[in-house]
Amino acid sequence: MERPLTQHIPASGAALHIREYEAVGGYSALRKVLEQFTPAEVTAHVKDANLKGRGGAGFSTGMKWSFVPMNVPGPKYLVANADEMEPGTFKDRWLLEGNPHQLLEGMIIAAYAIQATQAFVFLRWAYKQAAREMTRAIADAYAAGYLGKNILGKDYSLDIQLHTGVGRYMCGEETALLNSLEGKRAIPRAKPPFPQVSGLFGKPTIVNNVETLCYIPHIMNKGGDWFKSLSYTADGGTKIYGVSGKVNKPGAWELPMGVTMRELLEEHAGGMKNGFRFRGALPGGASTDFLTTAHLDVKMDFNGVAAAGSRLGTGTMVVLDDRTCPVGFVHNLEHFFAQESCGFCTPCREGLPWTEKILYAMEQGKGTEEDLQLLDMHTKLLGPGNTFCALAPGAMEPLQSALKYFREDFEQHIKEKKCPYAHHSH
């Protein structure tokens, strides 16, 4: 089976140069699109391929594009969300550092579909190598006539600019990202209006994840049916899955959408390291619910993981082993989320530090029975619908599922007045 995204990523660590990218068919999809397709046809093609957003939400990409009003005067914008700050997630970095032109070609085609004249790559501040590769790739694409005025001699022009973010997790939320891009504080916006209608500088804007955009050239070259045929399930295409934790071969692999957790863990990640047993995993980065040994045969697609009580998220699994304290594990995550709250709404601003303090006290042997009730209360009060954006509900997912599957560990901390795992190396 041909893997569209990673078949041309060199193992050497150096990104594909523009000539190398062209040699393996790079920019042929862009040429084809500008010669043969109207913008509406591109959107229809992507919708037909059943490509769902790879940033975590899993919304139909073609559907999202179709919400852009095409007959309004003034500019439209496209933004590649490369602010990959979800703990445990490293798939976009691989694509940015390995094949930046694949992203650019996807962006140009997506921008053409919505008739955007300006696009931005919003890049996580810490991705220095990716910034260097993207800067070079953008310059080379301009020099080759793939960007700028009248691309490939056709009546379509586009400028792409690299924007490095200032390092908040919040910037990954699309409306906070747009505020940051405008030079404002990175806080989420009220919806509606949705960015597709009123986004960057109040103009129609599409924000897509890096991985999502990288599929576009392949879909336009080979068609929606081909893309759907790559998958084991109704969700189209392949997916970059990752595994981190105490496994033999942590890493990322491009696989058919819908592989099982078991295949990921045992075949690709090489199973658990000697002396460690699998207890559970966050299937899609830090803000997803734990799945356990009972869920190993769950299909890792949007519906399969949701039916098991979690979310596919970014598809990058963080593994919990039997020698790592689940309370300490979750405390570490809540510490991160509490720091990253933008402070805009009260439940998140006050609730996350409170949650983190309770977990810290438990780890120090100062937890009480009442603390468990407080944690249960927080998972409800910070849940979906009670906060301005999804940061706090996402932060509650590992906590609520840890309380469900590993409650005896929490109780042991309280009874023994210490962390029972303290003698293990963390």
Q: Where exactly are the structural domains of the chain? A: 18-229, 238-321, 326-416
Q: What is the pLDDT of residue 109?
A: 98
Q: At what angle do helices 346-363 and 326-340 cross, to 10 degrees?
A: 150
Query: Tell me: domain 18-229, CATH 3.40.50.11540, correct?
Result: yes
**CATH code, 326-416:** 1.20.1440.230
Give the number of residues written for the chain.
426
Q: What is the dihedral of CA 413, 416, 422, 426, to 10 degrees?
A: -20
Instruction: For 310-355, write each residue's pLDDT tens digit.
Output: 999 999 999 999 999 999 999 999 999 999 999 999 999 999 999 9
Q: Encoding tokens for residue 323?
A: 């020698």
Q: What is the pLDDT of residue 367?
A: 96
Residue 107: CB partners within 8 Å, gap ≥ 6? 78, 80, 119, 121, 160, 213
- Give the mean pLDDT of 169-195: 94
Query: Tell me: domain 238-321, CATH 3.40.190.10, correct?
Result: no
Q: What is the pLDDT of residue 237?
A: 95
pLDDT band at residue 424, thresholds of 50, 70 and 90? Answer: low
Give strand pairing partners of 119.
78, 160
**Is residue 185 over pLDDT 80?**
yes
**Is residue 121 over pLDDT 70?**
yes
Instruction: For 402-414, write each residue's pLDDT tens digit.
Output: 999 999 999 999 9
Q: In what order do the strands lie in the sheet with 251-256?
A: 251-256, 238-244, 316-321, 278-282, 291-292
pLDDT band at residue 369, thresholds of 50, 70 and 90? Answer: very high
Checking DSSP bridges between strand 77-82 and strand 316-321, what pairing results, if any?
unpaired
Percentage above 90 pLDDT, the chain: 92
pLDDT band at residue 167, thresholds of 50, 70 and 90? Answer: confident
Q: What is the pLDDT of residue 423?
A: 65
Report pTM.
0.95
